[in-house]
Amino acid sequence: MFMSRVSAFSRQILHESKKSSRIQKILDIPSAASGKRSYCTSSILSGPVVIPSENADPSMKKYKFWNREEYATKGKYDYIINISPDSIQREAKILNLSDPDDEANSALFESLPYGAQILKTGTKLVDFEDVGVNEPNVVFVSPSCPKARKQLPLLLARYPSIEWVHVRSAGIDFVVSDALSELPVFMTNAKGQFSSSLAEYTMMACSYFAKDLPRLMKQQKSKNWEKYDVEELRGKTLGIVGYGDIGRACAKLAHVYGMKIVALRRNPKLSANDPYCSAVYGTDKKSLNKLMSESDYIVSSAPSTVETRGMINADAFDAVKENAVFISLGRGPVIDEDALIAALKNGKLKGAAMDVFCEEPLPESNELWDLENVLISPHNMDQTSTFMHEATEFFVYENLPRFICGQNLLNPVNPKLGY
Amino acid sequence: MSSNQYWNRETSERAQYSQDKQVTQPANIICLTDKNDDANRKLYDGELPEGAKILTVASKFDDFEIKELKEANANVVFVSHPKAREPLAKLLEEIPSIKWVHSRSAGVDFISSETLANSNVYLTNAKGCFSSTLAEYTMMAISYFAKDLPRLLKQKQDKNWEKYPVEEIRGATLGVVGYGDIGRAAAKLSKAYGMKVIALRRNPDNSKDDPICDVVYKNSKESLHQLMSESDYILCAAPLTPETKNMFDAAAFSKAKPNSVFINVGRGPIVDEMALIGALKNGLIKGAALDVFAVEPLPIESELWDMPNLLASPHNMDMTKTFMHEATQFFIDENLPRFLREEPLLNQCDKAAGY
């Protein structure tokens, strides 16, 4: 009876595990080579057989990422796995690699589910000295840990019992490194958590230029009642570079405005049936330039990886449509900032709105501060007063129970790819 | 909208009239317009549907040859001139053959008069033609305050990199006062953002099955106050009528949430501007965004110019390069053919109600 409840999927994994002892192969983390994804934890090798939780909504099982617009009403999560004595597969013993005073992590100390405990909180290896070598199996890491990139591999090396690392934020660039890529670990993050705020920012940035808000404010200051034509977003084209959760949230809004949407991503096939995009391109140079030439508004919502660094360069800016507006909200290094500044100065671009930069805080010497046609924000356009608390809550209410019940985890990321 | 009683650019289908039906009456058109108005070019010089012709183009009553117009059986007036109220009333008195008056704009307050109200003519307008642009403006105004754009711009001026928390539009409540095409277009966008929508209108039954608004109130002082107390953002998209004049008074603003934002895309006189200034100064509301004013252009002496928490625009937030051309095109392509075939006209207004 026990075996009959094991799904065919799990049986296949068990079978494959016998063929190879390398964790990496079994984990089958999303890679560019295969479009296939499967999200199993390494405990399949050593622990009990995975039995799907009966309390979990079967229709939700196939969701591989968390998207706040679809799954939560503000503050409440609606796909919560109920942990019962029958469904517990293992305990979660957590190392909290964060600043101990980080208030956003309050859910870790106030609302941990049954079967989970925080062993220790600290920001460097030595803080965790008194934790036994085979005790922890989970690491929760926040950007509030100053040298997380250095400390995380050290932690993983000292505690080989660690199976899973959850990154509180969406960006994982602050923890990835070659050292980390060497280690076999399953990693998840908070993608989808910040998307709606950034989508709101994107539409604001588009309207800022369409209705010529700079002109409006200048006229208001000089008490000048002068009518002028405004542009519509309706009918214009939004080009989205990096079509992940944030890109898709932007597309959702832009679509309702009546904009045409073209997107660019590593795996365009994954968006083949996307209801919002009229075209989806791959990341080759030609496609990028095509997107730039078709779009009235371009938003870069791509992560910073080895491949994307400096991707939007002088060539790309040369290809833009007349009067184009550029919006940057993924990661600064994706843009060649010098090329952007040149394009803004020589009129190739009508304007730009930037929330992220190669160097943050943006140094006073950077020319962007002085350009009139640039809207600058201090990387805070996703910074709602509760966003980091909610990101922690996502770990506590969504992924921890899944881990404890042997369920597939949400939001897997590939440290080698950088996203 | 299968009965298609109004034209909405986003959703209405073009040319939804019986095209194979015969033309049964002529359209002899008086243009009460500025003859140099380029937006009407297609009307003056372009091809009109068969059976329609322009009799004259003028803006002052004295420029009209009444006798000739009566003999030519003038039966349609196309109005776009801002000072059309009096000439139109006189034309209606002098030329009883006039059956139909079409206003190129959405607002018809500029031509309202007792003569018009008492006459038998059809009055149609351009409702639905400007809605999407104003909806875009509404979301921009909401974002302006939610993301604290004024702070952002000041920090840029000072080269000050200072992080601060932004507010989410998602989850906030939008109260729409005057739930016509413009209100509905704004509600449609705000719903996509994840806002809750409260609508207030004269005929709430008309919105009974509307999937976009969550709650509908019938227009009354109490329900307006209720809406003010529940909304984070209030959008006035109502027409100017004797009922709506000065609707937003000191009492209404006193009920508002202190962090709320007031947006007006309807008509200026709907708001008691002194009360609004008071509300902005005393922190009764967080801020306001106005595209319309009681007096336009806004006089230099008006205190509104100096309010730091006000976003003021010169009644141009629906003024795209082509919007008036499109409004004229609507008359030519949609309502003229219907008139010629004696089919029901789109966008009929209630002359007594004023919208």
- Mind listing the pLDDT tens digit for each residue in B191-222? 999 999 999 999 999 888 899 999 999 999 99
Cβ distance B140 to A204 less than 8 Å, yes or no, reads yes
B170 touches chain A (CB under 8 A): yes
Contact A183, A159 (CB under 8 A): no
Cβ distance A207 to B143 less than 8 Å, yes or no, reads yes
| pLDDT tops 80 at residue A3 | no
pLDDT tier, A32 (very low <50, low <70, confident <90, very high otherwise) = very low
Cβ distance A378 to B143 less than 8 Å, yes or no, reads no
Cβ distance B156 to A200 less than 8 Å, yes or no, reads no
User: In terms of pLDDT, which residue wins out, A182 or A240?
Assistant: A240
Contact B164, B214 (CB under 8 A): no
pLDDT tens for each residue of A122-172: 999 999 999 998 899 999 999 999 999 999 999 999 999 999 999 999 889
Its ipTM equals 0.89
pLDDT tens for each residue of B76-134: 999 999 899 999 999 999 999 999 999 998 889 899 999 999 999 999 998 888 889 99
Nearest-CB residue to A200 (from B169, B311, B314) = B169
Indicate the length of chain B as a whole number: 355
Count CB neighbours of A10 within 10 A. 17
Nearest-CB residue to A196 (from B139, B170, B312) = B170
Count CB neighbours of A354 within 10 A. 23
* Amino acid of residue B343: E
Q: Which of A331, A390, A393, A398 is catalytic?
A: A331
- Name the minimum distance, in Å, from the CA of B166 to any CA of chain A: 5
B99 touches chain A (CB under 8 A): no
Q: What angle do CA A374, A319, A285 make, to 5 degrees?
A: 110
What pLDDT, on a 0 to 100 scale, did the predictor assign at position B344? Answer: 92
- Which chain A positions have a beta carbon within 8 Å of B316's beta carbon? 227-230
B140 touches chain A (CB under 8 A): yes
pLDDT tens for each residue of B41-87: 999 999 999 999 999 999 999 999 999 999 999 999 999 998 999 99
Cβ distance A384 to B168 less than 8 Å, yes or no, reads yes
What pLDDT, on a 0 to 100 scale, did the predictor assign at position A64? Answer: 64
What pLDDT, on a 0 to 100 scale, did the predictor assign at position B130? Answer: 81
**Known active-site residue A307:** no
Cβ distance B156 to A369 less than 8 Å, yes or no, reads yes
pLDDT tens for each residue of B282-319: 999 999 999 999 999 999 999 999 999 999 999 999 99
Q: How many CB pairs under 8 A join A and B?
A: 135
A229 vs A209: CA distance, rounded Å? 12
**Known active-site residue A360:** yes
Nearest to B179 by CA among B207, B154, B137, B152: B207
Residue-wise burial string across B318-337, b where 16 or more C-beta atoms lie within 10 A, e elsewhere: bbbeebbbbbbbbbbebbbb
How far is CA B284 from each of CA B159, B246, B287, rounded to the nearest angstrom?
31, 18, 9
- Which chain B positions have a beta carbon within 8 Å of A220's beta carbon? 305, 311-312
- All domains of chain B in start order, with CATH: 27-129+321-340 (3.40.50.720), 131-312 (3.40.50.720)
**Known active-site residue A266:** no
B55 vs B72: CA distance, rounded Å? 8
- Name the minimum distance, in Å, from the CA of A372 to any CA of chain B: 10
How far is CA A385 from each of CA A7, A70, A382, B168, rounded to the nearest angstrom?
42, 21, 9, 9
